[in-house]
Amino acid sequence: MSGKASSSQHTVGFSGSGGLSHVYIQYPPLRCRIPGSRGLYYDDGSKLLLGPTSNQVFSWKTVPFDPHVAPTSDSISEGPILSIRYSLDAKFIAIQRSSQEIQIWHRETGETFSHKCRSESESILGFFWTDCPLCDFVLVKTSGLDLLACDYESKLLDLVETRRLNVSWYVYTHESRLVLLASGMQCKTFTGFQLSSAGIVRLPRFEMAMAKSEANSKPVLAAEDIYIVTVYGRIYCMQIDRVAMLLHSYRFYRDAVVQQGSMPVYSSKIAVSVVDNVLLVHQVDAKVVILYDIFADSRAPISAPLPLLFRGFPRSNTSSSRFSGKDGESAEANISDHEAIIYGDDWTFLVPDLICDVANNFLWKIHLDLEAISASSSEVPSVLEFLQRRKLEANKAKQLCLAITRTVILERRPVSMVARVIDVLVSNYSYSIKTGSYLKGIKVERTSISSGAHVNSPRSSANISASGIDALGKSYEHEPSARVENESLNRSSNISTSDSEDEAHFESLKNTTTSLQKLDRENILGAESASNEAQPSSSQSQHPGLNNNPLNASVSERQELQLASPAISPDEMYSFVFAPVEEEMVGDPSYLVAIIVEFLRSTNLEKIKVHPNLYVLTIQLLARNERYTELTLFIINKVLEPSKEVAMQLLESGRQNFQIRKLGLDMVRHLSLHHDYVVLLVQDGYYLEALRYARKHKVTTVRPSLFLEAALASNDSQLLAAVLRFFSDFIPGFRNTSDHHTYHRILSEMNSAIAT
């Protein structure tokens, strides 16, 4: 089982790819060029990239990200398009036609109806679809929020509720379900609503901090200075303070907004992305990106600022030939001067991890280079902690963790340091077991989807999926003052109360993706279909080939779970760390024994079972060094827990040391392996003890001839007679067997020989 996987592990080394960057975009991009395009819009609710032409809308799925995905198209009527979004069930298309009018389009029938503002004084800032139970559609106007329900039969949007307040601009992301409404002179007073599937939560009004450059100037906060960010299931707001050159962060709780600290910025243009719960702050002017992992309270960056790397560009024309067809030529031409376009002016950052190159109609997905990140730090335990939190490339993170662990052991780093490494891995595994993301992830997901009652539990927040809408378009913005509605990032999560925060972060992004797809199609999809959908997405990535774990019946589920978490089980620790390390290590094994003891300590603290193979390995190591005293202590104190494997290894090692063999025998007896025990007693020559034991525990599986042969070999007629008599009494019908006849004859011969 381990052969293939372990060979692949060795290729994962400490050396990153070039080491010059921690974040990269992978060639090829998703090309979304269509003739007659009137701009690109990103809908974070349905995760679609939309490219309307005069009478059609082309849409590209961005999740899962596939550069070769073909667009689907819908016909629409002609007219101006200020913004466009698909409904979450993908049945309707909503198009903002003017600052007063929204047009709704039914995709199947092609029927349309319009919704207009009642008074001329208010204008539409933007809109979005929601899965909030109260309404389907939210209209953000300068005068407040209109919550509307879509009534297809009567062809209108029913007003459910109105929240009146003055709005200068707003920010919304679907993944957070949070809409922030800016008001006031400086636009720094915020009112927030979370329209989650649990209902509407109104956040307390709060103000953002802004430094003043001089006494009388009051900077005005703009929509592009605000980012709603979802990491580890928590919702943050990042605010750029251009005067202080700081990026402030605020954390949203159900009942409070708490400022969390600030990070310096080094560029006048800043963009924020989130990849796999890592916060990426793009310093656009400096053309570098800084990574933050705000899991802990630390606001220190993960590593030094490094540029975004462009990966996989085909150097020769031959390799580009795999891209067939019509867009090949022009695309190559555009790509070829890619050096110039990294952090170009045409880049728009979409939520959470996409970049749209508006000029070339390219869509890039941002990736983390985990190898490079892990190679950049020498503080191994914290690197592992970071890797263990990664969900997007869980398999890669896992392989890296295994490789790093192997390396620190092979390099014979101090035991205390390796112990901390092991603690990180074990506690993460334990946590993933508890939260269910390692083995029971599927089950959790099912319950949260199928029963509405659970929907507002903290855990479900991460299951509700990520999706995002962003109209690409600042460059398409018509009225700079009001048309900022479209920038937003999006992953769903509840605003968590402070005590529930940690629940969510272990949920995998894969699961999230799964449920996202579900949301795209049908809100009330059953659990079965949800997990079915999961399979294609998981099967396309490689998994380490450990599917023999008996704990899980369904292979397909297992595969998905494998990828759901980089947590490393004790079995894997044995197969991919201790066993290979033991093979490679030369010299005194006491160091490895020390490491194993630390591992046992760690697993014992977390109450995790250890694979008996590890115990067997420990016995081999100790016996090889003839450290029988210690081995005895290990067994007596049950540091190595009793099991058949352990007992057998003790018997094996006991060939050199009778004491150890006895321990093995005792263990066999304690484990009630009656048959083995009787056979072993016979082997050691304790026939009568074996017989007595067989009688007491009713062991009938040992062949009588085994005893009879042994008794005969002892050349003691008394012993033979005793054994023969025993079986005659103990086994009904023994008198009629050939064994009885044979040995009875032998016995009488022996007796007569003695008599004469």
Q: Please identify, using beta-carbon distances, which residue of 223 and 690 lies nearer to other proteins.
A: 690
* DSSP-assigned letters across all residues of 574-623: IIIIIHHHHHH--S-THHHHHHHHHHHHHHHHTT----HHHHHHHHHHHH
Site for other proteins in 573-592 (CB under 8 A): 588, 590-591
Among 163, 299, 521, 662, binds other proteins (CB under 8 A): 662
Contact between 15 and 445 under an 8 Å Cβ cutoff? The reply is no
Contact between 472 and 358 under an 8 Å Cβ cutoff? The reply is yes
Tell me if 600 contacts other proteins by CB under 8 A.
Answer: yes
Tell me if 641 contacts other proteins by CB under 8 A.
Answer: yes
Q: What does the angle CA 401 – CA 574 – CA 550 come to, to the nearest 5 degrees?
A: 105
Q: DSSP class of residue 204?
A: P
Q: Please identify, using beta-carbon distances, which residue of 529 and 683 lies nearer to other proteins.
A: 683
Among 533, 598, 676, 739, binds other proteins (CB under 8 A): 598
- Least Å from the CB of residue 692 to other proteins: 4
Beta strands 308-311 and 23-26, pairing class? parallel
Amino acid occupying residue 480: P
The CA distances from residue 503 to 148, 308, 458, 593, in Å, are 32, 32, 7, 35
Tell me if 692 contacts other proteins by CB under 8 A.
Answer: yes
Among 213, 319, 451, 629, binds other proteins (CB under 8 A): 629
Among 634, 707, 727, 743, binds other proteins (CB under 8 A): 634
Among 69, 156, 546, 597, binds other proteins (CB under 8 A): 597
Among 14, 27, 686, 734, binds other proteins (CB under 8 A): 686
Q: Please identify, using beta-carbon distances, which residue of 156 and 671 lies nearer to other proteins.
A: 671
Residues 6+ apart with CB under 8 A from 21: 306, 307, 308, 309, 369, 372
Tell me if 377 contacts other proteins by CB under 8 A.
Answer: no
What is the distance between the terminal CA atoms of the chain, rounded to a whole angstrom? 66
Among 68, 315, 326, 696, binds other proteins (CB under 8 A): 696
Q: Please identify, using beta-carbon distances, which residue of 412 and 745 lies nearer to other proteins.
A: 412
Residues 6+ apart with CB under 8 A from 6: 575, 576, 580
User: Which one of the spans 161-169, 522-530, 608-616, 631-639 is the region binding other proteins (CB under 8 A)?
Assistant: 631-639
- Least Å from the CB of residue 720 to other proteins: 17
Q: Please identify, using beta-carbon distances, which residue of 285 and 641 lies nearer to other proteins.
A: 641
Tell me if 695 contacts other proteins by CB under 8 A.
Answer: yes
Residues 6+ apart with CB under 8 A from 128: 45, 85, 137, 138, 140, 172, 174, 179, 469
Which two structure tokens, joined as six digits, stand for 486?
Answer: 């479209």
User: Which one of the spans 156-164, 222-230, 270-278, 630-638 is the region binding other proteins (CB under 8 A)?
Assistant: 630-638
Residues 6+ apart with CB under 8 A from 627: 590
With tokens 């430094």, the residue in question is 211
- Least Å from the CB of residue 598 to other proteins: 6
Q: Please identify, using beta-carbon distances, which residue of 288 and 680 lies nearer to other proteins.
A: 680
Which two structure tokens, joined as six digits, stand for 714?
Answer: 């002892």
Tell me if 637 contacts other proteins by CB under 8 A.
Answer: yes
Among 633, 703, 735, 741, binds other proteins (CB under 8 A): 633
Q: Give dist(CA 388, CA 664) in Å, integer.
A: 39
**Cα dihedral sign for 134, 135, 136, 139?**
negative
Q: Please identify, using beta-carbon distances, which residue of 362 and 634 lies nearer to other proteins.
A: 634
Q: Please identify, using beta-carbon distances, which residue of 322 and 638 lies nearer to other proteins.
A: 638
Q: Give dist(CA 308, CA 288) in Å, integer.
A: 6
Among 18, 66, 204, 658, binds other proteins (CB under 8 A): 658
Tell me if 685 contacts other proteins by CB under 8 A.
Answer: yes
Q: Give dist(CA 696, CA 108) in Å, integer.
A: 79
Residues of the shown chain interacting with other proteins in the complex, contacts defined by CB under 8 A? 415-416, 419, 588, 590-591, 593-594, 597-598, 600-601, 604-605, 627, 629-630, 632-634, 637-639, 641, 658-659, 662, 666, 669-670, 685-686, 689, 692-693, 695-696
